[in-house]
Every structure is written in C-alpha cells, then in structure tokens.
Amino acid sequence: MASLRDIKARITSTKKTKQITKAMQMVSAAKLNRAQNKAQAFQPYTDKIHEVVSGIASSNTEVSHPMLQTRPVKKTGYVVMTSDTGLAGGYNSNLVRDLLKTIEARHSSPDEYAIIVLGRIGRDLFKKRNLPIVQELIGLPDQPEFNDIKNVARTTVEMFADGIFDELYVWYNHFVNPIKQDVTEKKLLPLSDIGTDGAKGASSEYVYEPSEAAILEVLLPQYAESLIYGALLDAKASEFGARMTAMSAATDNASGIIDDLTLTYNRLRQAAITQEITEIVGGAAALE
C-alpha cells in the first residue's frame, strides 16, 4: 500500500495537471469562438461564387470547362485535414480510420490514389503506413488566412486540370457542436453539381465581360480553392471543439482522482493516528 507521502505527492501532481487541462480548455473555447466567426464570415464569399458559376453553367449549355466534366477515373486525390498537435480526443483518429477504410474499399493499388495532407498528425501517420503523399503542409496558424494555404490549394487544383487526378475529394471533420464533429468527405472536383442544383437566374442579373467562358476560366479554379479553404476553417473549428471537450473531460477526471486520493489519504491518516493512540494507551497501561 502506498505511503501517506506517496499519496500526497500524487494529489499534488494531479492538481497541477488539472490546472493545465483547465487552462487548455479555456484557451480552446476562445479559439473555437474565433474559428466559428471566421468560417461564418467566409461563407458568403463561397456562396456568391457558386451562384455566379452555377448561373452561367445552367443558362448557357454551350459554355463548358474541364472542371465541370466527368471523365474516367484512373487516379484519385484526397485532401486530408488533420491537426498539428494532439490532445483532441478522437479528432484525428476517427478521420484517419474512416479514410483508410474508404481507400481500402475503393483502391487495389497505391498507384490509384495520392494524398495531399494538412497537419503534422496526419502526415506522420500516413508516412508510417507508406501511403503516397504528393503534398504536405504543417504548422498552420490557429486562425489561418487563405494565403497560408494558397500554394497548396492552387497546386492541387492544377493537378486535376493537368490530368494527374481525375477526381478530388476533401476529407475533414465538420463542426456540429463542441461535443460532436462528423467525419466528412466532400467531392471537390469535378464540379459535377454546378448548374444542376437549382441556382438559376444569376446570369440574368449580370452582364459578363469579356465572355461567360472567360469568367468561368477564372472563377472555377478560385471556387475550387475556396472550397478547400472553407473546409479548413470548418476543420479548425472542429479541432478546437474536440480539444475543448477532451480537456473538459480530463479536468473532470482529474477532479475525481483528487477526491479519491484525498479520501484514501484521510483514511490512512486516521488509521495511523488511531494506531498511535492505541500504542500510547497500551504503553501507559503497561506502566501501571
């Protein structure tokens, strides 16, 4: 059985751990609030681009673009968004597990797919499994700007345009609430739903110069890149929500451990005092 000194040392160390987890919980809550505001502020930009390109594609059947056309799939690209640090519960493990199951079901050879990974955790896991990584980006700030991922997003879209990939998917954790984050797969390219999702009438509101085809040539890559950035903002909110929840649970567990150790400490101390009193009484009785 542990001594009183050992139990007291454990109580002290657990209290210090509780202070750390409580502080991390509060920091994650503040970061979550900023991440949610950033994601909400960016959404109108993506919606407006979608409205314009959808309006052009639905109103003019003669206008076409390689990003709108489905082609035979020889190679698939996966943009995977994980975190750079841990202590976020199942945030990374759930995403990676579902992705690996999907890859195993869809592909029979590593030549049929490649991964673009954001985040140190995912990068390290994929490298350990010798999965084909064509691009990686680590060390993103907590509140990323588009310039932080501009090169990766642009290169990824260009890989599809150049025929390296025949389809692109983005994998991330969609933020539902701080307790729940849903692993989400979204088809990034080709944009097969553009022009068929009911967004009509946009082309009648605008006069395009120099031409609708020229507008699509510029806007479609920007739209695809904005989808990547929007998914990243959503993933960041999920990360902070998952970390806040994990640190809250860790803080509660630390409180429970401290209560149990304190109870044990008091019982042992009471037993030791009782033993000392018994010995004193017994010694006094022997002297009579």
The string of pLDDT tens digits covering residues 29-40 is 999 999 999 999
CB 91 within 8 A of CB 173: yes
Q: What's the confidence (pLDDT) of residue 196?
A: 58
Is residue 185 situated within a structural domain?
A: yes
- Is residue 276 in a domain? no
- Asked if the structure places residue 236 within a domain, the reply is yes
CA dist., res. 284 & res. 288, Å (int): 7
Domain assignment present for residue 133? The answer is yes
43-57, 185-199, 248-262: the lowest-pLDDT one: 185-199
Let me know if residue 5 belongs to a domain.
Answer: no
Distance CA 173, CA 94 (A): 9
Q: Is the residue at 255 inside a domain?
A: no
Q: At what angle do helices 212-287 and 91-106 cross, to 10 degrees?
A: 130
User: How many domains is the chain partitioned into structurally?
Assistant: 1
Q: Give residue 286's pLDDT.
A: 73
Whichever domain contains 116, its CATH number is: 3.40.1380.10
* pLDDT, mean of residues 40-57: 83
| Residue 213 structural domain | 25-245
Inside any domain, residue 13: no
Distance (Å, whole) CA 80 – CA 188? 12
Going by pLDDT thresholds of 50, 70 and 90, the confidence category of residue 2 is confident
In a domain, 264, yes or no: no
